[in-house]
Amino acid sequence: MSDWQPLASVTQLQQRALLLSSARAFFAERNVLEVQTPVLAKHTVTEPDIQSIEVPGFGYLQTSPEYHIKRLLAAGAPSCYQLGPAFRFGEQGRLHNPEFTMLEWYRLDFDHWLLMDEVAELVDQLLGAKPYQQLSYTDLVGPLGDRPRDELDLAFARACERLSAGRFFITDYPAEQAALARLNPDGLTAARFELVVDGVELANGYWELTDPAEHRRRFAKDNESRGQRTLPQVALDEAFLDAMKAGLPNCAGVALGFDRLVMLALGVKDLSQALAFRGQ
Amino acid sequence: MATYSTNEFRSGMKVMLDGDPCNILENEFVKPGKGQAFNRVKMRNLMNGRVWERTFKSGESIEAADVIDSDMEYLYNDGEFWHFMKTDDSYEQVAAGAAAVAECQNWLKEQDIYQVTLWNDDPIAVTPPNFVELEVTETDPGLKGDTANGGTKPATLSTGATIKGVPLFINIGDVLKVDTRTGEYVSRVKT
């Protein structure tokens, strides 16, 4: 007999449905537009620590709706959000599944500080209100010195787990970990934040980089570091870069792992219990 | 030599770490959203029983350990080694030293079947069944009439092991069922 039974109970699925509609209501009240961008598309991200699932002949399952939503914003769309599936190759564990539900939203004329306030409001609505603390990246992992990136990543992952109770915004990431956030005026740290709730890394946000030349430089650097790690090169998404050239308006954006949020709301320790099925 | 990559790690898998064979107990995938992936692995060193926790970069490989668990019949002790025989009709025998037999000494009875862990064909551990039946060789005299409640006493078994929690009505020569995981009395099998 195959193991055909679902992972989450019916009650858990009902709670999940309530959280989905509550999240949509949150954005409807704030006039943030729900959009649906392709889940399967020709291009994917260059980030060396994110591997995409390739679909031969079609492209890649998208690891986040970031590039498409930014193209919408560059074309004049208002603040908007997407609540739907995203995919990452090789990520499977207690807090990971190759297919997961991502809630990603962009706010025009917000910086990352304003967006952090809104993330807290959403989390308060879905998980109940609690206080938030703010810590810098170096508060968490200690002085950077010339520690290699993998050592920092491990220290960061461990430090997040130690924040096992409470809600924490982590700010001031090193510039090398800016991804697509703009840099702070000090030039050493990025306008990037993450939210850790009860030891679980829940959301990652930026005051978005808008400079088209800097985008190209960072993508090239990603591919260089992919080369050093014998990972496949990723072709640059020229449509996205053209949109950046046309002009991304001043905005902040954040991606939140919705399945993890459901997991926290249910008070369970494994993502499985927030999912109908694992798929693998 | 076979190797396993972190994404193949499963509990029960036998691997080499720092020159010793280890049994993987737990494997957790850990990854910051924008950072590198790791596997935090708990494993038991099969040579000394210690549990180690190690973190590997995801995708790293480690050497497989040629470790198999084999059911074998206990034959005898020659003063230095404990001799076991395979139960697969091959009559093949192995001699296990004190380090491998360790606490299982307390539960060894001739002709009973034990699990012998072989690393490169050498016995490194002997695991008893969860329950064994052994004769009492020494205990305080039994108290008549005390069959259900009341106190307990220690008893020494034919292997030399002393167990606790034995009811007062047990006598020398009785055969007891013992839980080898806790070393405790379960029931009397025969008088």
Of A47, A90, A154, the CB nearest to B34: A47
* pLDDT of res. B151: 82
Helices within chain A (DSSP H only): 10-29, 66-74, 112-127, 137-141, 149-162, 212-228, 238-247, 258-266
- C-alpha span between A63 and A86 (Å, rounded): 5
Helix, strand or coil, per DSSP, at residue A200:
strand
Distance from CA of A93 to the nearest CA of B (A): 5
Residue holding tokens 């990559």? B5
Residue A130, φ and ψ in degrees, nearest 5: -150, 160
Measured in whole angstroms, the distance separating CA A180 from the mean position of its chain's CA atoms is 11
pLDDT at residue B145 in the model = 60
In a domain, A279, yes or no: no
The predicted model gives B14-33 an average pLDDT of: 93
Question: Count H helices, E strands: chain A?
Answer: 8, 11
| Residue A210 covered by a domain | yes
Distance CA A191, CA A178 (A): 7
Token match 């490989």: residue? B61
CB B157 within 8 A of CB B170: no
CATH of the domain at A57: 3.30.930.10
Tens of pLDDT along B131-159?
999 999 999 887 666 555 668 899 999 99
Distance of CA A244 to CAs A33, A64, A75, A236, B80, Å?
Answer: 21, 17, 10, 13, 78
Q: Please indicate whether, in this complex, the C-beta atoms of A201 and B35 are within 8 angstroms of each other.
A: no
Task: Check whether B116 has a pLDDT greater than 70.
Answer: yes
Of B1 and A143, the structure prediction assigns the larger pLDDT to A143
For chain B, the average pLDDT equals 91
- Token reading at B48: 């000394």
Q: Which residue has the tokens 């810590």?
A: A135
* Interface contact flag, B29 A201, Cβ < 8 Å: no
- Both tokens of residue A1? 């007999």
Whether B106 has a pLDDT exceeding 80, the answer reads yes
Which residue numbers of A have CB closer than 8 Å to B's CBs?
47, 49-50, 90-96, 149-150, 152-154, 156-157, 160, 177, 179, 194, 201, 204
Per-residue pLDDT tens, chain A, 280 aa: give them: 788 999 999 999 999 999 999 999 999 999 999 999 999 999 999 999 999 999 999 999 999 999 999 999 999 999 999 999 999 999 999 999 999 999 999 999 999 999 999 999 999 999 999 999 999 999 999 999 999 998 999 999 989 989 999 999 999 999 999 999 999 999 999 999 999 999 999 999 999 999 999 999 999 999 999 999 999 999 999 999 999 999 999 999 999 999 999 999 999 999 999 999 998 7
Work out how many domains chain A is built from and give that number: 1
A238 lies in which domain range? 10-274
CB contact (8 A) between residue B34 and residue A201: no
CB atoms B38 and A153 under 8 Å: yes
Neighbours of A70 (CB within 10 A): 24
Structural contact between residues A184 and A211, judged by C-beta atoms closer than 8 angstroms: no
> In terms of DSSP bridges, do strands B3-5 and B67-77 run parallel, antiparallel, or are they unpaired?
unpaired
Helix (H, G, I), strand (E, B) or coil at A176: helix
Indicate yes or no: CB of A90 within 8 angstroms of CB of B57. no
pLDDT at residue B7, rounded to an integer: 85
Per-residue model confidence as pLDDT tens digits over A239-248: 999 999 999 9
pLDDT higher at A84 or B191: A84
pTM, entire model: 0.82
pLDDT single digits (tens) A49-68 = 999 999 999 999 999 999 99
Contacts of A152 in chain B (CB under 8 A): 35
User: Exposure string (b/e) for B153-181, b if CB count within 10 Å is 16 or more?
Assistant: bebbbebebebeebbbbbeeebebebebe
Q: Looking at residue B146, what is its pLDDT? A: 55
Q: Model confidence over B65-103: pLDDT tens digits?
A: 999 999 999 999 999 999 999 998 889 999 999 989 998
Domain assignment present for A51: yes
For residue A1, being part of any structural domain is answered with no
Residues of A in contact with B29 (CB under 8 A): 91-96
| Residue B105 pLDDT class (50, 70, 90 cuts) | very high
Q: Mind spelling out the 3-state secondary structure of B75-121?
A: EEECCCCEEEEECCCCCCEEEECHHHHHHHHHHCCCCCEEEEEEECC
Terminal alpha carbon distance of chain B: 54
- Nearest alpha-carbon partner for B171 in B180, B146, B159, B106: B146
Identify whether A167 is part of a domain.
yes
Cα distance between residue A21 and residue A141, in whole Å:
37
Distance from C-alpha of B99 to C-alpha of B101, rounded to nearest angstrom: 6
Share of chain B above pLDDT 70, in %: 95
